[in-house]
Amino acid sequence: MASTEQLTFAIETFKRIHPVEFQRRFLSQDTRHDGRAFLQFRATHVVKGTIGTAQGSATVRIGNTTVVCGIKAEVSEPDVNTPDQGYLATNVDLSPICSANYRPGAPGDEAQVDSEHIFRLFGEVVDLKQLCIENDQAVWSLSADIVCLKSDGNVLDAAIIALMAAVEDLKLPQASLDPATGVVSADKAIETQLTLRKRLFPATFSLVDDAYLVADADDAEERLATATLLVVLDDQGRLANVWKRGAGTIDRPTIARCIAEAKNHQNAVSSALE
Amino acid sequence: MARPDRRDPSQIRALHCVLGQLNRVDGSAQFSAGDTSVLCGVYGPVDVKLYDEKLDRAHIEVKFRPDIGVPTTKDKWVEDAVRSTFEREILGQLHPRTLVQINVQVCQGDGSVDAAAINATTLALIDAGIPLRAMVAAATCVVRSDHSIIVDPTQEEADSALSTHTFAFSNLQTNSPAYVDSRGEFSIDEYNACYDMCMAAVDRTLAFMRTVVEGKILKETQTAL
């Protein structure tokens, strides 16, 4: 008769082999594997002006998730239909450097969806008319590249905060069009900043293992999430976005609770952006 | 503020649906709400690429093509919306290591296209006989500049709106939306009002879907006799 051998896994091994069970051990005890409460967000750190060669930039850290945003400004011709408006193009870059989840090459589905979503959000923030240099002839075209350097969950929140900070950091040299030559010249000595319509404060909640609603999920929790809810508030007490995706159930009272939690979190993000 | 087509604020446009128009796909549905018309063709369960193969369930892929121009990130966004909605509802566990491919083509766009895409997908999946947990329908509401709320906006009404709200509900759970996308500048009260209005519109759309499916079954049993 063989004696039953007791297998003792090292915690790291257990985490790798049984990721779901590992998380359940904590979640079923009303806590999370990094010690946070269910609705507790990680600390947000923002540093503006981290890229000297960009007109606007910022680096955002939420826990181990690190995202850099750089905005380059170029002069271009405006669209015929909107002769007094410039452009803001947003591009989110999720590459293998930040996580093993992503493949090299063209932007994947997640990056494209995030890029589009952030573009729609910031249509409410930046007044494109402020980017006009000369009506119908020259406008500023801003390319915002949001690069994720380290992904430990909740890249979308970090990306939104990074772009928010970069746009606040943005300094455009005063530009004028010489009507005779058609050349736009910029005076770096005089710089203008954009007056933004509003500031955005994001908060992401994830339904882990189809049962536990957590705020600001990290990578291990995100992999087991069956639904995500993004709530974006503005600085005027209104909502800018409620976006629920995924298979899991997040019912109406829970969404209301998340909106309330997002309001609580707003102060933390706001002071980080200062 | 009266609506250009004289509809009530809570009135959706006339719904129309034709099933099984395409004979190469496993199932198809052309869903129209007023001038918005979306065609959805579904293959499934079919062979899946090794990279996408999932051991315990079907892989769900959505392709969305706009009425005009080449697909852009805008359409990738709608693909994500449709896929995340149906990941719950398709009983993928019954067909592991296969692919369910949903192809959506906008034939005519006049507002509320995202909602029409979700509605067309439900009907196409039923036409294809792919097992579903529940039927999902979607509706869009907008808050206008005078803060009045209207359902099923046309493109013209949506362009001038303060905020747009798209909700999808399954016929089993109205307390928990399958998909939510509210964007713009709005208050919690406006969000809740839109939630209620969309829920009512989804109820009507689900009832319409039921009559469409009943018609299909009736036609098939009559042909069999």
pLDDT digits (tens, 9 = 90+) for A200-214: 999 999 999 989 999
pLDDT, average across residues B149-166: 95
Find chain B residues with C-beta within 8 A of A252's C-beta.
175-177, 195
Residue A1, pLDDT score:
42
**Residue B30 pLDDT level (bands cut at 50, 70, 90):** very high
Chain A interface disruption, residue of B54, B140, B180, most A CBs within 10 A: B180
Distance of residue A134 Cα from the nearest chain B Cα, in angstroms:
26
For B187, counting Cβ atoms within 10 Å of its Cβ (0-12 exposed, 13-18 middle, 19+ buried), the class is middle
| Site of tokens 């296969």 | B98
Cα→Cα distances B87→A171, A226, B83, B102, Å: 44, 9, 6, 12
Residue B78, pLDDT score:
95
> Per the structure block, which two tokens stand in for A162?
């990074």
Q: In what order do the strands lie in the sheet with B36-46?
A: B15-19, B27-33, B36-46, B99-108, B59-65
pLDDT at B69 over 80: yes
pLDDT, average across residues A118-126: 93
Residue A7, pLDDT score:
54
Any CB–CB contact under 8 A between B175 and chain A?
A: yes
Q: Name the residue among B206, B21, B28, B191 with its Cα closest to residue B115.
A: B206
- CB-based contacts of B21, cutoff 8 Å, min separation 6: B28, B30, B39
pLDDT at B116 over 70: yes
pLDDT at B215 over 70: yes
Find chain A residues with C-beta within 8 A of B100's C-beta.
none
> Checking DSSP bridges between strand B99-108 and strand B36-46, what pairing results, if any?
antiparallel
For A150, counting Cβ atoms within 10 Å of its Cβ (0-12 exposed, 13-18 middle, 19+ buried), the class is middle
Residue contacts between A and B (CB atoms, under 8 Å): 75
**Residue A8 pLDDT level (bands cut at 50, 70, 90):** low
Beta bridge partners of B46: B99
**Residue A5 pLDDT level (bands cut at 50, 70, 90):** very low
pLDDT at B192 over 50: yes
**Residue B225 pLDDT level (bands cut at 50, 70, 90):** low
Residue A10, pLDDT score:
80
Distance of residue A236 Cα from the nearest chain B Cα, in angstroms:
10
Cα B42 from Cα B53, distance rounded (Å)? 18
Cα A242 from Cα A231, distance rounded (Å)? 5
Any CB–CB contact under 8 A between A251 and chain B?
A: yes
Question: Amino acid identity, residue B91?
Answer: L
Cβ pair B77:A109 closer than 8 A = no
Residue B173, pLDDT score:
78
Global pTM reads: 0.92
Per DSSP, the three-state class of B106 is: strand
ipTM: 0.91
pLDDT at A182 over 90: no
Any CB–CB contact under 8 A between B2 and chain A?
A: no
**Residue A3 pLDDT level (bands cut at 50, 70, 90):** very low
pLDDT, average across residues A25-29: 93
Cα A100 from Cα A96, distance rounded (Å)? 6
pLDDT, average across residues A38-64: 94
User: Which of A120, A234, A249 lies nearest to residue B173, judging by beta carbons?
Assistant: A249
**By percentage, how much of chain A surpasses pLDDT 90?**
74
Any CB–CB contact under 8 A between A241 and chain B?
A: yes
Q: At B12, which helix (H) or strand (E)?
A: none
Q: Are A22 and A33 in contact (CB under 8 A)?
A: yes
Residue A9, pLDDT score:
62
Q: Are A113 and A243 in contact (CB under 8 A)?
A: no
Any CB–CB contact under 8 A between A209 and chain B?
A: no
Find chain B residues with C-beta within 8 A of A261's C-beta.
none
Cα B32 from Cα B19, distance rounded (Å)? 12
Cα B151 from Cα A85, distance rounded (Å)? 31
Cα A269 from Cα A239, distance rounded (Å)? 15
Query: Which stretches within chain A are classed as H helix?
Result: 11-17, 19-27, 109-122, 155-169, 219-222, 252-273
Distance of residue B224 Cα from the nearest chain A Cα, in angstroms:
37
**By percentage, how much of chain B surpasses pLDDT 70?**
99
User: Which of B73, B76, B177 lies nearest to residue A244, judging by beta carbons?
Assistant: B177
pLDDT, average across residues A77-86: 92
